[in-house]
């Protein structure tokens, strides 16, 4: 059975193996696929895997042999699910594979900002510590997390993992969540979004991107935050109005931002956050630890195996 991977490079740039998939059929792996090549590369393959290549109704209709679309990610907005259902095409995703890795990145950003790690490492290499008359050198406040308030917007798998880490640091945790207080772990307080914005020293975004959450962080919501607040986004780029945030950072209306996602990726050269002060952006790599990618690969293979075997596909959407 033919299996086509349309954009496999980000999952496996060479350090993992496609052997598990190759044991299930005749596999063709493309590192990347341009929109104009999607239909021809799928051809008569009944099974395809995609990460960011869009599979819309037209692609499905132009590929009548297509029976299965495996999304190599948790989010599946790249596939027209309604059209797939009408055409009898199974669509799967990979849930919860990156929870620990993304939560780790949240605190990598927080600790970089509060301890100014990158700056001090750079200045030490530049001789600032060597030239210092004292045994230690610092030129800006260093912030302790214990006793501070962590505000979490969205308390799914990743939000909950972030909350647990925050508690281990001795932080108070407020969460804007639909979950009732009665089922939340000890130490997590269900709160309104306004209270999260107003009282939190660190705010981390983990809600889904919907019409209601698009540009959740904007000029008005930033005005509700402490001027000393740190904002973290490892969720979805469009949760933030990037121009409003860049202006706020420039004006000192918010202390710092750490982000792993932007509204358009890869980042455009004119994105206002790229040159904003106190702004630290990583290139959408929170999910990309070797361990998380290995879990993703293993789950993707198992999804395909279940489909081929005629079993109930657990991760079908």
Averaged pLDDT for residues 15-35: 98
pTM for the structure as a whole = 0.94
Question: What is the rounded end-to-end Cα distance, in angstroms, of the chain?
Answer: 22
Token pair in block for residue 32: 């990347």
Can you read off the two tokens belonging to residue 172?
């108070």
Residue pair 231/217 in contact by the 8 Å Cβ criterion: yes
DSSP 207: P
Burial of 306 (0-12, 13-18, 19+ CB in 10 A): middle
Q: Are 6 and 49 in contact (CB under 8 A)?
A: yes
| 87-110 exposure pattern, b = at least 16 Cβ within 10 A, e = fewer | eebbbbbbeebbbbbbbbbbbbbb
pLDDT of the residue at 57: 98
Query: Between vectors from CA 278 to CA 276 and to CA 283, what angle results, nearest 5°?
Result: 75
Q: Are 259 and 233 in contact (CB under 8 A)?
A: yes
Active site annotation includes 57: no
CA distance 73 to 52: 9
Backbone dihedral angles phi then psi of residue 149, each to the nearest 5 degrees = -105, 125
**What burial class does residue 206 get, using C-beta atoms within 10 Å of its C-beta: 0-12 exposed, 13-18 middle, 19+ buried?**
buried
pLDDT-based confidence at 93, cuts 50/70/90?
A: very high
- Quick: pLDDT tens for 264-278: 999 999 999 999 999
| DSSP-derived secondary structure letter, 23 | T
The reported pLDDT for the residue numbered 160 is 97
Element (H, E) at 309: helix 290-309
Active site residue 236: yes
Using omega within 30 degrees of 0 as the cis cutoff, is the peptide bond preceding 176 cis?
no
> CB atoms < 10 A from the CB of 153, how many?
25
Task: Specify the pLDDT at position 149.
Answer: 98
CB 113 within 8 A of CB 86: no
Using pLDDT thresholds of 50, 70 and 90, give the confidence band for residue 169. very high
pLDDT classification of 110: cutoffs 50, 70, 90: very high
Q: What token pair was written down for 162?
A: 């972030």
The pLDDT of residue 240 is 98
Structure tokens given for 290: 């070797």
Query: How does pLDDT run across 117-127, given as a tens digit for each residue?
Result: 999 999 999 99
Under the banding of pLDDT at 50, 70 and 90, the label for residue 92 is: very high
- Complete DSSP assignment for 26-52: EEEE-S---GGGHHHHHTT-SEEEESS
pLDDT band at 294 (very low <50, low <70, confident <90, very high): very high
H/E stretch holding 249: helix 242-251
Catalytic residue selected from 144, 265, 268, 291: 265
pLDDT tens by residue, 223-246: 999 999 999 999 999 999 999 999
- The mean predicted confidence, pLDDT, of the chain is 97
Catalytic residue among 206, 236, 293, 295: 236
Please say if 284 is a catalytic residue: yes
Question: Of 278, 284, 302, 305, which residue is the catalytic one?
Answer: 284
Compute the half-sphere exposure of residue 268: CA atoms within 13 Å on the CB side of its CA: 7
Instruction: Report yes or no: 205 and 232 within 8 Å, Cβ to Cβ.
Output: yes
Residue with tokens 């945030």: 245
pLDDT, position 113: 97
pLDDT score, position 151: 98
H/E stretch holding 302: helix 290-309
């Amino acid at each position: 059975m033919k299996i086509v991977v349309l954009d496999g490079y980000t999952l496996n740039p060479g350090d993992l193996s496609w052997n598990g998939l190759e044991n299930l059929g005749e596999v063709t792996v493309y590192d990347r696929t341009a929109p104009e090549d999607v239909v021809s590369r799928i051809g008569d393959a009944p099974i395809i895997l995609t990460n960011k290549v869009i599979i819309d109704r037209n692609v499905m209709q132009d590929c009548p042999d297509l029976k299965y679309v495996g999304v190599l990610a948790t989010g599946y907005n790249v596939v027209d699910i309604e059209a797939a259902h009408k055409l009898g095409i199974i669509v799967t995703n990979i849930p919860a594979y990156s929870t620990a890795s993304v939560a780790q990145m949240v605190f990598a950003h927080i600790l970089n900002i509060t301890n100014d790690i990158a700056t001090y490492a750079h200045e030490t290499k530049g001789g600032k510590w060597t030239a210092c008359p004292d045994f230690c050198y610092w030129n800006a406040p260093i912030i302790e997390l214990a006793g501070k308030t962590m505000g979490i917007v969205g308390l799914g798998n990743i939000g909950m993992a972030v909350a647990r880490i925050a508690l281990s640091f001795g932080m108070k945790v407020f969460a804007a969540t639909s979950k009732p207080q009665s089922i939340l772990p000890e130490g997590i307080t269900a709160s309104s979004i306004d209270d999260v914005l107003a009282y939190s020293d660190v705010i981390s975004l983990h809600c889904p991107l919907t019409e209601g959450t698009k540009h959740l962080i904007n000029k008005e919501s930033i005005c509700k935050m402490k001027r000393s607040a740190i904002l973290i986004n490892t969720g979805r780029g469009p949760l933030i109005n990037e121009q409003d945030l860049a202006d706020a950072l420039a004006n000192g209306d918010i202390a710092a931002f750490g982000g792993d996602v932007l509204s358009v990726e890869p980042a455009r050269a004119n994105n206002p956050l790229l040159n904003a002060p106190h702004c630290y952006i990583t290139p959408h790599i929170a999910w990309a630890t070797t361990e998380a990618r290995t879990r993703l690969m293993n789950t993707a293979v198992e999804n395909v195996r279940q489909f081929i075997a005629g079993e109930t596909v657990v991760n079908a959407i």
